Amino acid sequence: MSEHESFGPDLAEVFGPSQSDGGPDLVQLLTPEGERVHHPEFDHDFSAEELRGLYRDMVLTRRIDVEATALQRHGELGIWAQLLGQEAAQIGAGRALRPQDYVFPTYREHGVAYCKGVDPLRLLGLFRGVDQGGWDPNENNFGLYTIVIGAQTLHATGYAMGMQRDGVVGTGDPDRDSAVIAHFGDGASSQGDVNEAFIFAASYNAPVVFFCQNNQWAISEPIERQTRIPLYQRALGFGFPGIRVDGNDVLATYAVTKAALQRAREGNGPSFVEAYTYRMGAHTTTDDPTRYRLNDELEHWKLKDPIERLKVYLRRNGLVDQEFFDDLDAEAKELGHHLREGCKALPDPKPLDQFGYVFSEMTDEIAAQRDEFAAYLASFEGSH
């Protein structure tokens, strides 16, 4: 072997069999078989009520995803970004938040939106094309969906720096101290915006958690084409800690994210959480994953289903009864009805409204364009 051939990590070491289940550094509290395990650094004493709540959240989040996918297939939505298989990553991260914490999402954080109190019907408006996001970000501290890949990490870092200047970081008051969490995917980690956000966050010790849902595929590009090392190890190169958590384990995701957020609130700076998970469905409803990945891979990850493993644990330990599942099933059906009927009833946008969304205050130039367009529309009145 030559000197050059031995330089740097071998891909077999990074993505080979030893790493197929997340590798030795993976933080896990609930195995795919539903066995509770403990971690020396990240753990949490979950009550029965908390466990049932996390299970309920994941089931309802999956129902949102299933209903929205069906609505798209029936022509009621233009497109939908599925989260199937990533429920634990989103609910674990979402439930670790405090009310004052701020979320900057991608376009797939439907479970986090649910945790922050955003009506899922509001999400559908964007994908139906009747609005640009029908919720007030400041009402729930949940930003609008970001379509530009990775741009939200810069927004999150800037907002976190603003929190520092507002004096809401490191005060010791749990009701005041705040943090920001930025969601993005493994593909976005290759974007310049994300890496610039890392640099600024580290340089200014910003109270931000970079939460990467590594679902193994950036549309059709596998993770081994994105990086030469595990994603969480990239953080050290920027000067802050990174950790890999089982993103299909809602308990571990909650514990790790809670610790990372608290670290940020206390003024100890940014951190990187890689939620090691899998995109069970398509990238969006315009994508056909059967063209680029094997069915054996999908079947392997089905055995790690985040909902099923918690369900097994709850049943095995006598923490639920059939009434619980019956009630939850009824609640999910009611949620589905709300989404189906509500989506169809969403009002179409008025063409002239778009001019009011350009700036916070109408400028003369935009007003002139609005009036010109209004005259154009009026020219069709009365015509056949």
Q: Find, among 122, 5, 33, 26, the residue nearest to 315 by Cα.
A: 33
- Please report how many Cα atoms fall inside a 13 Å half-sphere around the Cα of residue 301, on the Cβ side: 21
Based on the number of CB atoms within 10 Å of its own CB, is 273 exposed (0-12), middle (13-18) or buried (19 or more)? buried
Asked if 109 and 143 count as a contact pair (C-beta separation under 8 A), the reply is no
184, 223 Cβ separation under 8 angstroms: no
Distances in Å between the alpha carbon of 288 and those of 75, 237, 246, 268, 372? 18, 35, 26, 43, 42
Q: For residue 19, how many other CB atoms are within 10 A of its CB?
A: 17
Structure tokens at 330: 């009824």
Burial category of 227 from C-beta neighbours within 10 Å (exposed 0-12, middle 13-18, buried 19 and up): middle
Any residues with CB less than 8 A from the CB of 380 and at least 6 apart, and which?
none
Instruction: Locate 22 and state its tokens.
Output: 């997340």
Could you tell me if 123 and 115 are in contact, meaning their C-beta atoms sit under 8 angstroms apart? Answer: no
- Are 211 and 181 in contact by the 8 Å Cβ rule? The answer is yes
CA atoms within 13 A on the CB side of 319: 17
Q: How many CB atoms lie within 10 A of CB 248?
A: 31
Helices 250-265, 87-95: axis angle to 10 degrees equals 40
Question: What residues are annotated to the active site?
Answer: 279, 283, 292
